[in-house]
Amino acid sequence: MGDAADAWKLPAWRSLLPAGRSDRTGGYRRFSFTLADDQCRDWFRLEAVHRGLRVETDRNGNLWAWWDPESSPEETSVVVTGSHLDSVPDGGAFDGPLGVVSAFAAMDLLVKARIEPVRPVAVVAFAEEEGGRFGMACLGSRLLTGAVTPDDARALTDADGVTLAEAMAAAGLDPEAIGPDPELVSRIDAFVELHVEQGSALAGMGAAVGVAESIWPHGRWRIDFSGRADHAGTTKLADRHDPMLPYAATVLAARTVATELGSLATFGRVAAEPGAANAISSVVHAWLDARAPDEGTLTELVSQVTAVAELSGSSHGVTVSSRCESLTPAVDFDFDLRDRVVAALAEQGIEAPVLPTGAGHDAGVLAAAVPAAMLFVRNRTGISHSPAEHAEPADCEAGVIALAAVLEELACR
Ligand code: GLV
Ligand code: MN
Ligand code: MN
């Protein structure tokens, strides 16, 4: 393989690396309920079974590996750690998998030190965290906590029009059974997600590990520009209904408005139909990813961008419609849990700065229902959602040690 991710020699890490990796780009295409996803799920089950953990797939397609305590069988509260295994198109090796691999590795450290949990500890791999196939970010954790209705989830479609219900059925899961599990959620004492940092704040601070403070509110909106297909060589400019023009104006406006509002706006996905080089498009589908420091600013950002889309559409005879595909409110991680995590790390001599992030996570969804916390592992360049995403092996090891310390504090005392 010979890429930078290969540098971390931990067997559990190395055995996952080939799944869903594109030889052409070196990026990962681990989309839910596909062959690559199957390979990741097989890997998870193998790692769990190898450690004697009880493994199950829940009704929502999330994977769980349970370490049950030998003592305190009456203990019903549980501690959960983990992340996700799916990726964005051409994602890096670390976003998601680092949290799952580190969770297994942290358990190994505890076992080696003969530290036993007094309450069950689970490693979880949430399904469709990136929304890379069905558009809604953190789908598995949203379903678990009831943040999306089963009907809305079942109706989500991928780029080929396959519904989530159809994809789950094809993967051997029962789409009629999806939905919240309040009983399990009520038993979760703490959820701790370890994740590669998706910026370079830790690198600037000289710290290998950090603790999350908050997540910016964010979401994604699909905007459809509908015009009229026509011949590129014979249609006078004045006679065109070209949806590409209001789309382009909207992209430029998003940049201007985001700058003015101290926010972020990105068009990373666009699809033109029919996609002929010598034809005016009939429709342009575009996806706006918008993030802001507070919810009011996010609303303002999206409304200004969509207003430009509509205004520009009307001046080109193009119809514009938009709808929100997923929305995550602002998250402030549980203060008490965060303090406990920072103190547990300090006890081990780990000075972990507390920092906010603009990236979305399952921990952010869980935070609305249970005490949740996050550990970040340094990413020296800050690059993420790219094949160039990287964390040094020594920093990954530091993350495992930190997570083991946190699990010891939360589940073994
Ligand atoms: C997930 O990584 C997101 O922030 O979109
Ligand atoms: Mn991601
Ligand atoms: Mn992630």
Is 137 close to ligand 1, i.e. is its CB under 6 Å away?
A: yes
Q: What's the confidence (pLDDT) of residue 97?
A: 98
Beta bridge partners of 269: 287
Question: What is the atom index within ligand 1 of the atom nearest the CA of 198?
Answer: 2
Q: Is 136 near ligand 1, meaning CB less than 6 Å away?
A: no
Mutate to test the pocket of ligand 1, among 90, 129, 130, 331 (most ligand atoms within 8 A of CB): 130
Q: Look at residue 71 in the predicted model and tell me its pLDDT.
A: 77
Alpha-carbon radius of gyration of the chain: 22
Q: Are 306 and 322 a contacting pair, CB within 8 Å?
A: yes
Distance between Cα 87 and ligand 3 center (Å): 8
Calpha distance 338→191 (Å, rounded): 11
Strand partners, 78: 188
Query: How far from 47 is each of 16, 21, 168, 401, CA to CA, in Å?
Result: 10, 20, 23, 19
Instruction: Give the rounded distance of the alpha carbon of 44 from its chain centre.
Output: 18
Half-sphere exposure of 397 (CA within 13 A, CB side): 8
Q: Per the structure block, which two tokens stand in for 68? A: 């049950």
- Residue 130 Cα to ligand 1 middle (Å): 6
CA dist., res. 3 & res. 1, Å (int) = 6
User: What pairs with residue 111 in β-bridges?
Assistant: none
Q: For 229-242, how does the pLDDT look when each residue is reduced to its tens digit (9 = 90+)?
A: 999 999 999 999 99
Q: Which atom of ligand 1 is nearest to the CA of 361?
A: 1
With tokens 């507390």, the residue in question is 354
- 262 alpha carbon to ligand 1 midpoint, in Å? 19
pLDDT value at residue 70: 84
pLDDT of residue 3: 81
User: Does ligand 1 lie within 6 Å of residue 173's CB atom?
Assistant: no
Is the Cβ–Cβ distance between 350 and 402 less than 8 Å? yes
Distance of CA 108 to the CA centre of its chain: 25
**The model's pTM:** 0.97
Cβ 360 under 6 angstroms from ligand 1: yes
CB atoms within 10 A of CB 285: 18
Q: Give the pLDDT confidence of 115-130 residue by residue, as tens digits.
A: 999 999 999 999 999 9
Measured from the Cα of 137, ligand 1's closest atom is 5
Closest CA to ligand 1's atom 3: 360
Token pair for residue 319?
């119809």
CA 209 to chain centroid, in Å, comes to 19
The pLDDT profile of the chain, 413 residues, written as one tens digit per residue, is 458 899 999 999 999 999 999 999 999 999 999 999 999 999 999 999 999 999 999 999 999 999 999 876 666 899 999 999 999 999 999 999 999 999 999 999 999 999 999 999 999 999 999 999 999 999 999 999 999 999 999 999 999 999 999 999 999 999 999 999 999 999 999 999 999 999 999 999 999 999 999 999 999 999 999 999 999 999 999 999 999 999 999 999 999 999 999 999 999 999 999 999 999 999 999 999 999 999 999 999 999 999 999 999 999 999 999 999 999 999 999 999 999 999 999 999 999 999 999 999 999 999 999 999 999 999 999 999 999 999 999 999 999 999 999 999 999 99
Please tell me the residue having the least CA distance from ligand 1 atom 1: 360
Cα distance between residue 225 and residue 309, in whole Å: 8
Instruction: Output the pLDDT for position 244.
Output: 98
Alpha-carbon torsion, ordered 401, 30, 373, 64, to 10 deg = -80
Q: Which of 144, 117, 145 is nearest to 54 (CA)?
A: 117
- Please state, in angstroms and rounded to a whole number, the distance separating the CA atoms of residues 152 and 139: 11
Cα(275)–Cα(242) distance, integer angstroms: 13
